[in-house]
Every structure is written in C-alpha cells, then in structure tokens.
A and B are shown apart, each in its own frame.
Chain A
Amino acid sequence: MNFSFLRFSSITKKIWMSLLGLFLMVFLILHLGINLCLLRKDPTWFNDAAYFMGTNYVIKVFEVILFGGFIFHILVGIILQLRNWRSRPVRYKINPRTDTPFFTKYMIYTGAVVFIFLVIHLMNFYFIKLGWKESPVPSLPNGHPDFYVVARWLFSQPFYTVLYIVFIIVLGVHLYHSFRAAFQSLGLNHKSYNSSIETFGIVYSIVIPLGYILIPIYYLI
C-alpha cells in the first residue's frame, strides 16, 4: 500500500477531509430517504430499495467509493488529530477560557462514537447482506434478507433503540460543526454567504438526525 498521502501538507489533508465529509453528508440524505420507507406498514418500498441498493451495479461502484470515503475520512482525521496532540506536548495548567463554540472542540471524540455506531450498523445489516452473519429473521421468498423485518426487530429491543438514538444525537453534534468547517477548509468563506452556510449547516445537523430518530420513536409509539 502506498502511504504517500501521509506526507500531504496539513491543508491538503484538510481539503480531503472536507470533500469526503460533504460527500458523506450527501449520502446521509440518501440513506435517510430509504430509512423513511420504514414508516410504511407495507414492507415493499423498503425492501425494494434495499434490493436495488444491494444489486445495482452503479450503486456497487458508489459503494466502493463510499467505503473508501469513510475509511479515508477516518484515517486522515486520526492523522490530523495525532499531529494536533503532538503540537502541544506541555498542556496549560488551567483550562482555556477562550470563548469558542463548545462542540467544535470535540470532533475527534464525536467522530470516534460515530465510528463505533458505523461498525455496529454494518454488523447488523451489511454483514447479513454479505452472508457473513445469519439474519435473525427469515429471508424473503427471493432469497434476499428481509431488512424491513430486521430493522423492526432491532427497534423492538429497547436497549438497541436507546443506543441508536444516542448515537444519532452524537452524529448530529458531529455534523453541527462539519458543514461550516468544510466550507472554511475549502476556502469558501465570504461575508455575503457565511450566515447562509452556517444556517444550512445547523438546519441539516438538526433535521437529518431528527429524521433518523423519528423511525425508532415511531415504532416505540
């Protein structure tokens, strides 16, 4: 494996982080669109979408890009953070009192929580699709996993539901800072557009997680 990207400058890494972050944010919208099909009593829409996502060749290509994007985003984030920790070997003895937005300081930690959620999520769904894990519910007549029932089964477990909601809230916190930060890292900072970018970022970081949380809440009710 070629590790030459590790030698990229700090700004190059930030630009890659931003581009991949924005790409993943677009994916979250697409994923939510499919998830919202779970709100229907008829499983056809959700299972058709899952079948399409699992079999379409264009989607399969995007799947590789998506996984690559996730891995690269996480890897570059870790590399940047390790450097940041090294840049101040002796810490201040009293806590900094500079007034900065609270969540901006904890991106690596919220990112780590999102990563744990991603692993659990993949184990529950993607591993079944790959045949690495047995489905907890019977498959569809065409032999494909019945993800609609899998999702409903998972959300019927209170522990998983609470965990899911907590993880999604942390994802929202991660996204809260991400959108504006991505634009700033890409050099897109202009006094005429900054407030719109910030507002969109805040709305996105609230609406998208709410959309995801809506599904387990709907099942609980």
Chain B
Amino acid sequence: MDFTLKIWRQKNAKAKGKFVTYNLKDVSSNCSFLEMLDILNEQLVHQNEEPVVFDTDCREGICGLCSLYINGRPHGPDDAITTCQLHMRKFKDGDIIVVEPWRARPFPVIKDLMVDRTAFDAIIQEGGFISVNTGGAPDANAIIIPKEAAELSMDAAACIGCGACVAACKNASAMLFVSAKVSHFALLPQGKPEAKERVRKMVAKMDELGFGNCTNTFACEVECPKLISVSTIARMNREFLWAKIG
C-alpha cells in the first residue's frame, strides 16, 4: 500500500511547528500504524534526516503511551483501540493520512508528535491511591464486595491514562480520566474512607492544570480505547456533590 503522510513536525515546545509531507510506498497492510512510522523513520535516517518523534512502549494496547491524532480522531479511524493496535488495512491504498499530536493546554508538545502528559500524573498524585499500611496479604474473602461494584470498579480501572478523552473532547476536558480514577476507588470498600478527600483534591488539581469543562458531548466515551463509560463522570459528579455537602 502507498500512503501520503502529513506529519506535524515541531523541534521543541517553543518552536513553531508545521506539517511535513512524506510519501511511503509498499507498506504491508498488516503493518501496525506505529510499525509504519518505524519504516518511515528508517527511511528518514537513511536520507540523513531527523526521524519523527512519537511516544511508544508496550505496543499491545495496555500502556497508554502511544497517542497520535490521526485523520481527525485520537488513535485513528477505528473504535476501542490504541494507536499501536491500529493497522494499515484500516486505510485505503493511496490515502492521505494527517497525523497531529494531542492538543490541549495541559499537554504541551515536547517534540513532533510527543506530548507531555505528566498533568495526568499530577492528578493521580492528588488521590489516585488508597492509604493503607502494607503487611501480610489479607484473606481474599475478608472484605465482601458486591459483584456489581467489583465489576464497575474494574471497568473504571481499565483506564490506561492515554489522554484520548482529552484529545477528543472539544473542550480538552479530562473528566473521563479523572472520573475513571475516582470511580475505581469510590466503588470499593477500601477506597471509601478517602473518597471525599480524593474527589475534592483530584478535581481541584484537574481545574488547576487548565483542563476544560465537560459539556456532555460524550466524544471521550466514543474515543476511549478501553470503553470507559460517561456514567463514571456522573458518578464523579455525585461523589463531588456529596463531598461538598456531606
């Protein structure tokens, strides 16, 4: 397959970026999108040009590192996947593919397609944990957890913090990410003692970092590679309300 790639190139956070067009020929339809970028980078290295910088790690859809805004969609034209799980067979031969970095004030571009997502780490540091003294492993049945609560909590825990929700939202809101972390703990008995403090602090940090507000377009849910539901946002709103008035 042959492709024309229009890739955002930016030397550093302060430099003014621009799209650079590359032509790539004879790409296997079984290539993943990131493998296709690897091929491009090999080509660029052979031509003595600087390779395109992009985030990548596990390449099996669990680390959340690969980002990329491809043809107007975070993680490209497929549902419930990360960019590393996107394959070139999803495109047509001869397609023009436009690749941009995540765009959000709290996610500044480091270089080319790589953005700084430490804003998410800062939110996690505010309450994305439970404070317990470690010790001997407790008996698995010592704390009874209703099946539905356990399942909902695990659904929320599936969030890999990739930032697609922020990238997809027209307001660059991080509500889906924060609500997934809040829900993950709030649903479990181990997380309940700190639930109020957690939601207050995480929401305050989210606001402080400059993420936008949720206007309920639900674009985040559509683009989430782990299918986190917007019902977690509603749960966070409830938790926040109770934390304020309770």
Assess whether A84 is in contact with B170, with CB atoms less than 8 Å apart: yes
Q: In the complex where A87-B211, A94-B98, A98-B223 touch, is A184 in contact with B170 (Cβ < 8 A)?
A: no
Assess whether B241 is in contact with A100, with CB atoms less than 8 Å apart: no
- Interface on chain B toward A: helix, strand, loop, or mixed SS? mixed
Q: Please report the C-alpha to C-alpha distance between residue A79 and residue B36 in the assembled complex, in whole angstroms.
A: 43
Q: Please report the C-alpha to C-alpha distance between residue A117 and residue B106 in the assembled complex, in whole angstroms.
A: 37
Assess whether B212 is in contact with A88, with CB atoms less than 8 Å apart: yes
Chain A residue at minimal CB-CB distance from B18: A93
Q: Please report the C-alpha to C-alpha distance between residue A181 and residue B233 in the assembled complex, in whole angstroms.
A: 12
Q: Which residues of A contact B219 (CB under 8 A)?
A: 96, 98, 100
Q: Which of A5-13, A23-31, A140-148, A151-159 contacts B (4 or more CB under 8 A)?
A: A5-13
Q: Which among B103, B216, B236 is the interface contact of A92 at CB below 8 angstroms?
A: B103
Q: Which residues of A contact B8 (CB under 8 A)?
A: 93
Assess whether A98 is in contact with B234, with CB atoms less than 8 Å apart: no
Q: In the complex where A86-B210, A87-B172 touch, is A97 in contact with B217 (Cβ < 8 A)?
A: no
A80 at the interface (CB under 8 A from B): yes
Q: Which residues of B contact A13 (CB under 8 A)?
A: 213
Assess whether A181 is in contact with B215, with CB atoms less than 8 Å apart: yes
Q: Which residues of B contact A181 (CB under 8 A)?
A: 215-216
Q: In the complex where A84-B170, A189-B231 touch, is A96 in contact with B206 (Cβ < 8 A)?
A: no
Assess whether A100 is in contact with B203, with CB atoms less than 8 Å apart: no
Assess whether B19 is in contact with A93, with CB atoms less than 8 Å apart: yes
- Interface on chain A toward B: helix, strand, loop, or mixed SS? loop
Assess whether A96 is in contact with B215, with CB atoms less than 8 Å apart: no
Q: In the complex where A12-B244, A88-B105 touch, is A96 in contact with B213 (Cβ < 8 A)?
A: no
Q: In the complex where A9-B207, A10-B207, A96-B170 touch, is A87 in contact with B215 (Cβ < 8 A)?
A: no
A89 at the interface (CB under 8 A from B): yes
Assess whether B235 is in contact with A187, with CB atoms less than 8 Å apart: yes
Chain A residue at minimal CB-CB distance from B231: A189
A177 at the interface (CB under 8 A from B): yes
B230 at the interface (CB under 8 A from A): yes
Interface residues of B in 54-90 (CB under 8 A from A): 69, 71-74, 77
Determine how close the nearest CB of chain B comes to the CB of A111; give it in whole angstroms.
Answer: 11
Q: Give the total of B residues in contact with A, Cβ under 8 Å.
A: 47
Chain A residue at minimal CB-CB distance from B105: A87
Determine how close the nearest CB of chain B comes to the CB of A174; give it in whole angstroms.
Answer: 12
B195 at the interface (CB under 8 A from A): no
Assess whether A97 is in contact with B171, with CB atoms less than 8 Å apart: no
Q: Please report the C-alpha to C-alpha distance between residue A104 and residue B171 in the assembled complex, in whole angstroms.
A: 12
A99 at the interface (CB under 8 A from B): yes
Assess whether A98 is in contact with B168, with CB atoms less than 8 Å apart: yes
Q: Please report the C-alpha to C-alpha distance between residue A83 and residue B219 in the assembled complex, in whole angstroms.
A: 18
Interface residues of A in 48-73 (CB under 8 A from B): none
A186 at the interface (CB under 8 A from B): yes
A180 at the interface (CB under 8 A from B): yes
Q: Which among B100, B172, B215, B231 is the interface contact of A104 at CB below 8 angstroms?
A: B215
Assess whether A88 is in contact with B104, with CB atoms less than 8 Å apart: yes
Q: Which residues of A contact B231 (CB under 8 A)?
A: 189-191
A101 at the interface (CB under 8 A from B): yes
Q: Which residues of B contact A80 (CB under 8 A)?
A: 213, 215
Assess whether B210 is in contact with A87, with CB atoms less than 8 Å apart: yes
Q: Please report the C-alpha to C-alpha distance between residue A189 and residue B175 in the assembled complex, in whole angstroms.
A: 15
Assess whether A100 is in contact with B212, with CB atoms less than 8 Å apart: no
A-B contact pairs, 6 of them (CB 8 A): A9-B207, A90-B103, A98-B74, A100-B217, A177-B216, A185-B237
Please provide the 6 A-B residue pairs with the shortest distance between their CB atoms, ordered closest to farther. A187-B238, A189-B234, A87-B212, A97-B72, A84-B171, A187-B237
Interface residues of A (CB under 8 A from B): 9-15, 80, 83-84, 86-101, 104-105, 107, 177, 180-181, 184-191
If A87-B104, A92-B72, A92-B103 are given as contacts, then 17 extra A-B residue pairs at C-beta distance below 8 Å, sorted by A number, are A9-B204, A9-B240, A11-B237, A13-B213, A14-B214, A84-B171, A84-B213, A84-B215, A87-B173, A89-B105, A94-B71, A95-B72, A96-B72, A97-B71, A97-B77, A101-B218, A177-B216
